[in-house]
Structure 1
Amino acid sequence: MILCVGLATVDLVYRVDRIPGADEKAQATGFEVAAGGPAANAAVTAAALGAPVTLVTAIGSHPLGALIRSDLEAHGVRVIDAAHDSAGPPPVSSIVVAGRDRTIISRNAGNLRLAVPPDGLPEADLTLVDGHHPVLAVAAAKAARRLVVDAGTWRPVFADILPHAEVVACSAAFRHPAGAVDAPHVVVTHGPEPVTWVSGGVTRLIAVPPVEAVETSGAGDAFHGALAHALHEAATMDAALTEAIRVAGVRVAHPGARDWLSSL
């Protein structure tokens, strides 16, 4: 089983012909509501690829939380809500997409403080954390048999998480304040450019096949979910990265939050 721990949001996705400017109104050409967030999107990807997946996150009892649960469960993800008694709204993101351009306004976890569920975290063969909900993230990292860290941007909690990681997958924007990340495998994505993989002091480049990108939202999350799935299936690191690149390529070649999954 793959355990994903981190952020789940309500994503309100508006599609427009172009990103509007200040004080400008725009008529949406399309609209979607889906669960979002790095850990949630990675969980959906791994589940679509065939793995049993559990997501530990914070949703709460607010009516908007039902949107998150229904989407995740419809895509095969078991959900454990560490904030089930919270009446406040869950994290919400408004995403305006115009082709490959996007603007995101989000209220992520805010000031919500969580504890590990009374029954603890479920055992898993592989764990993925995104650094949101720090108490849950640290507990999951310490208990993980194998840990993949989605390090999109630096978060202070990563100082406690990274020492437990087998794989740290960073975006090119990630900046560790102490310098280099110390983990058995450090992966850095650069959009359409080759993926950098550092292991045992050796740096390798993994080519990214050209893709006609239609929408880039969630590409990194898809990459992380596919990487976790491949490692869970005992793939070598080289093969796992190749698969993660393939899946991210499928994601960007299709518009929409979930329709692309049928092309995997």
Structure 2
Amino acid sequence: MTDTRAYPIAVAGENVIDLVPTGADTYRALAGGSPANIAIAATRLGSPASLIARVGSDAFGTRIRNRLAADGISPRYLVDAAEPSSLAVVTFDEHRRAAYDFWFTGTADGQWTSDELPDPLGSDVQALHVGSVALHLEPGGTALFRMILREHARGAVTLTLDPNVRPDIAGDVPAIRRRLEALVPLCDVVKASDEDMRHLYPDLDPVEAARLWRDSGPALVVVTQGPDGATAVTPHEAVAVGAPEAEVVDTVGAGDAFMGALLHALATRDLLGGTNVGTLRALPPDDLRPVLEYATAAATLTCTREGANPPTADELDAWLKSSA
């Protein structure tokens, strides 16, 4: 049966199997990957998404497809890849902040060719989100960059970016910075963590670095700051919000939950789509603040659960009410 539902958000990038420690010598395999997590986060909150991704041919690839299907992610842009799935081994520090060791060499992610990418996107797509490792792995990174250039020229969708900087697998930092500085002016909304900004601009305060990016063209640049909340830099002023207090289980997928919730919050306010970029650029601080608070709450609630497990709309609403 043909799927006739609308999927206003399309997310391009990788899937990753996270190997999360459960003991001294044991791990649990959980499907993750920043772009896949973002698509799921937006969909669970009520803004259905498609994932533009290459899915591996191994048993993990089957698990990835099952995860996406269970959350209602449209498979229309998924590509069957001959290569295996990417892996990440997760470790935690004393504050349960996650770090990762990655296996991406020869895997399905990053092997895009231009004819595998949708051209054009469906008429129902209002936003194209890009980011993370797939932007920097070749030959796929160049193919994705060409798609972004094409969509920027077409002007029909809001372009959003979350760099999710991983210098250990995406190459040297100057090369990552050059690619991102070419991408940022093409995008309307950019979200980066303070850790991302410190990797890219170690001599600048992360919010000051965000101002440089904002001045290059985006309507909005948001810096997430972990337990300190988030700061958005607009054409008018910076808007900062705090994060709710919560007991952290781990931080896996928190930034992705923030980005998915940010996309959903913009969608529910009719701020996505090429014709709405001007409205987004003129958004008053009092209208932007609840958007940031909502996204920060989604990220915080995700930190109270194991792995990349963003909340549904009902779960987030109930948690916000109980925390009030």
| TM > 0.5 fold call | yes
Unaligned runs of 5+ in 1: 17-25
> Between Structure 1 and Structure 2, which shows a larger proportion of strand residues?
1
CA 1:119–1:222 in 2, change beyond 3 Å: closer, same or farther? closer
What is residue 120 of structure 1 aligned with on the other side? 119
Aligned AA (1:158): L
CA separation of 1:250 and 1:194: change in aligned 2, threshold 3 A: closer
1:39 paired residue number = 35
**Is 1:94 aligned with 2:89?**
yes
The whole-number CA distance in structure 2 between the counterparts of 1:4 and 1:259 is 16
The 8 Å contact of residues 149 and 165 in structure 1, kept in 2 or not, is answered as yes
Query: In the TM superposition, what are the counterparts of 1:76-225 in structure 2 within 5 Å?
Result: 76-80=72-76, 83-84=79-80, 86-97=81-92, 100-108=96-104, 112-116=110-114, 117=116, 119-123=118-122, 124-131=125-132, 132-133=134-135, 134=141, 135-140=143-148, 142-143=150-151, 145-153=157-165, 155=176, 156-175=178-197, 176=200, 180-181=212-213, 182=216, 183-225=218-260
Q: Which amino acid aligns with 2:185?
A: P
Task: For residues 149-201 of structure 1, give each alpha carbon's deviation from its aligned partner in whole angstroms, at most 9, with x where no partner exists.
Answer: 11222634323321121111111123456962132211111111131111115
Tell me which protein shows more helix as a share of its residues. 2
Distance in 1 between residues matched to 2:105 and 2:222, nearest whole Å: 26
Structure 2 residue 292 is matched with structure 1 residue 241: yes
Instruction: Name whichever of 194-203 and 240-249 sits farther off.
Output: 194-203
Deviation at 1:115, TM superposition (A): 1.8
Q: Percentage identity across aligned positions?
A: 27
Name the structure 2 match of 1:22.
Answer: none
Quick check: 1:10–1:91 contact (8 Å CA) kept in 2? yes
SS in 1 for 2:30: strand
- Cα distance in 1 for partners of 2:230, 2:117 equals 40
Tell me whether 217-226 or 167-176 shows the greater mean CA deviation.
167-176
What SS does the corresponding residue of 2:293 show, helix, strand or coil?
Answer: helix
**TM-score where L is the length of structure 1:** 0.83
Say if 1:147 and 1:77 are closer, same or farther in 2 by CA, change over 3 A.
same
Tell me, which stretches of 5 or more residues in structure 2 are unaligned?
1-7, 136-140, 166-172, 272-286, 317-324
- TM-score w.r.t. structure 2 length? 0.69
